[in-house]
Each structure stands twice: as structure tokens, then as C-alpha cells.
């Protein structure tokens, strides 16, 4: 059997395994799995072993991105593993919003732009933004050491290592000592599902991905409440705090941001379906004797 016949037979085998496992789109996914075996530059026999094993894992319910070990985000390939959230396409709205505001403030190349990616996970936002804005310097941080390690690996592999600085710790704690202040933009896609909802209606989310990526405390707002205050001292006057929102959270976030007194302009950015999924809050002037 030549290599083309071998690959035809393999893709059929993969597709059958996926179909039997009830995977929604076995045709498209079999092609991606086959491509995943090709990437590894394997002999045909090894491709079979690898492809069939990946297909079986996928058929058992493991998300395709974990099976492949990567996910595309804002035009770059991000390595992922089960210790981090798989970057979602809806989070690209937040990333591109950051890129637009950086270009507006600093010009196309964003020379001199300073950005924080808080709760960085795999580093998808940090890498996507750094790739799109070649003049930007980015500080990325996550509570989980594994996330910080993977972010650093993604940044280096994409040739962005010199412009992305990574730390692990609770919110802004590790960034204070790294000199990450005076930022044009802070992006954050925090955990925002209420613990109650996560334990009842959305337990499916925890089948494969880590709890700390989703659990936003009793009302889903715990991290936002801290962020809205803590972010203010890391932003330039006129800089933007950009937050991904859960569906239906816009009014609560609007109120939180207004009540904090740190921001002089708040915008809610809708997704293509018209649902507000990003809150943008502009840091107001520092008031002497105030915040």
C-alpha cells in the first residue's frame, strides 16, 4: 500500500471510530486528526497507531483541542493541555477589542504599548495581542503555576518571548513586583460562572477542563469585584480595562464599574448576536486625596 492509499484507509478508520463515538462532525474532525499525525512526521504504521489512539480518545469525549494539543486563537496556534481552559472563539472579541484600542492609542504598530493579560490560562490573549501589535509589551499572570509555564512556552514558541513576561500568583500580586504599571490596556477573561450553577446545571464544563477556570464564586462576580478595584492602579489615565462577560452579566458589571469611581467612561461591546460580552472601562483622572 502506498502512502496515499494508507492515508485514505486511515482517515476512514478514524472517521468510523468518531462516528461510533457519536462525535458531531466526524468528517471534519477526522481530517484534523489525520493532519495531527502528519505533523509528527511519522511512518505510516506509526501514523495508524497514533491516529487510531487519538480517535479513540476523542470518541471517549475528550475535547478535540486536548486530543490535538492545540487551538487556533486570533490567528496563532496555541498549545493547550488539560491543565488550562481551551481558548474559546468568543474570547477573540475581547482580544480584538484590545488590539483596536491599542492601535488607536499608539498607532498601527502599538510602539510603547503596555498591556496586562490577567488570568492568562494558556496565554492565548497575551500571544494573540502581541502577535497583532508588534510594539506591545505584555505582562501575563495566572493563579496556576501550570498556566504560567504554558503561557511562557507558547510565547517562546511563537517568537514572542522577549515581549511577554509571565508570573504566577493571585491576581495583580506577582505583577506589582515586576513593574507592570502604567498600562494602556488590561484584558481579563476571569472565571465567571457561579459556583452553584457550576455544581448543578453546568457540571459538564468540569468533565475535562479545570474548575478554577470557571468558578466565579457565589454569584459569579467574585473575581470581577476584586479586579475592578485592583486594576485601577495599573492603568494609565485614559487606559482601558477590558473584561469578558458571561451571558446576562452586563448590568451587574456596569454597576460594579460605575460604583468603583475609578472609571469615567464605560462601554458594553456586543458579540455578533447582539449579546454584550465585553465591558470596556476607561480609567478616569487620578483625584488627589481620592482613590
Q: Where does this chain bind ligand SAM (CB under 6 A)?
A: 85, 87, 91, 119-121, 124-125, 142-144, 147, 170-171, 189-191, 212-213, 223
Residue closer to ligand SAM (CB basis): 51 or 87: 87
Kindly state the smallest distance separating residue 167's Cβ from ligand SAM, in Å: 10
Residue closer to ligand SAM (CB basis): 14 or 85: 85
Is the separation of the CB atoms in 164 and 151 below 8 Å?
A: yes
Residue 56 grid coordinates: 479513540
Kindly state the smallest distance separating residue 135's Cβ from ligand SAM, in Å: 22
Kindly state the smallest distance separating residue 87's Cβ from ligand SAM, in Å: 4
Closest CA to 128 of 179, 168, 185, 174: 185
- Packing angle of the helix pair 26-39, 44-59 (nearest 10 deg): 140
Residue closer to ligand SAM (CB basis): 93 or 281: 93
Q: Which residues contact 163 (CB under 8 A, 6 or more apart)?
A: 130, 136, 137, 138, 155
**Dihedral class, residue 220 (left if φ above 0, else alpha if ψ from -120 to 50, else beta):** left
Kindly state the smallest distance separating residue 131's Cβ from ligand SAM, in Å: 15
**How far is 205 from 202, CA to CA, in rounded Å?**
6
**How far is 23 from 29, CA to CA, in rounded Å?**
9
Alpha helices by DSSP H, listed for 70-135, are: 91-106, 124-132
Residue closer to ligand SAM (CB basis): 5 or 173: 173
Kindly state the smallest distance separating residue 28's Cβ from ligand SAM, in Å: 22
Closest CA to 71 of 59, 85, 60: 85
Residue closer to ligand SAM (CB basis): 30 or 194: 194
In the complex, which residue's CB is closest to ligand SAM? Answer: 121
Residue closer to ligand SAM (CB basis): 10 or 94: 94
Kindly state the smallest distance separating residue 107's Cβ from ligand SAM, in Å: 26
Amino acid at each position: 500500500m502506498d502512502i496515499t492509499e494508507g492515508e485514505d484507509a486511515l482517515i476512514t478508520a478514524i472517521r468510523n471510530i468518531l462516528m461510533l463515538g457519536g462525535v458531531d462532525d466526524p468528517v471534519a474532525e477526522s481530517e484534523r486528526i489525520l493532519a495531527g499525525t502528519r505533523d509528527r512526521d511519522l511512518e505510516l504504521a506509526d501514523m495508524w497507531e497514533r491516529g487510531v489512539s487519538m480517535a479513540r480518545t476523542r470518541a471517549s469525549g475528550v475535547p478535540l483541542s486536548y486530543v490535538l494539543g492545540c487551538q487556533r486563537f486570533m490567528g496563532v496556534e496555541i498549545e493547550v493541555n488539560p491543565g488550562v481552559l481551551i481558548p474559546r472563539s468568543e474570547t477573540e472579541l475581547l482580544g480584538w477589542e484590545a488590539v483596536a484600542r491599542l492601535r488607536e492609542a499608539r498607532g498601527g504598530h502599538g510602539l510603547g504599548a503596555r498591556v496586562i493579560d490577567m488570568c492568562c490560562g494558556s496565554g492565548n490573549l497575551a500571544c494573540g495581542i502581541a502577535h497583532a501589535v508588534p510594539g506591545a509589551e505584555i505582562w501575563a499572570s495566572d493563579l496556576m503555576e501550570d498556566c504560567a509555564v504554558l503561557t511562557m512556552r507558547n510565547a517562546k514558541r511563537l517568537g514572542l518571548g522577549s515581549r511577554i513576561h509571565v508570573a504566577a500568583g493571585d491576581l495583580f500580586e506577582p505583577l506589582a513586583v515586576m513593574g507592570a504599571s502604567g498600562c494602556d490596556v488590561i484584558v481579563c477573561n476571569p472565571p465567571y460562572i457561579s459556583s452553584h450553577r457550576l455544581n448543578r446545571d453546568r457540571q459538564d464544563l468540569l468533565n475535562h477542563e479545570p474548575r478554577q477556570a470557571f468558578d466565579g464564586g457565589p454569584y459569579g462576580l467574585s473575581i470581577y469585584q476584586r479586579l475592578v478595584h485592583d486594576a485601577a492602579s495599573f492603568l494609565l489615565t485614559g487606559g482601558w480595562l477590558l473584561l469578558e462577560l458571561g451571558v446576562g452579566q452586563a448590568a451587574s458589571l456596569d454597576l460594579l464599574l460605575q460604583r468603583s469611581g475609578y472609571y469615567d467612561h464605560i462601554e458594553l461591546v456586543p458579540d455578533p448576536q447582539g449579546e454584550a460580552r465585553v465591558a470596556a472601562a476607561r480609567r478616569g483622572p487620578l483625584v488627589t486625596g481620592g482613590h
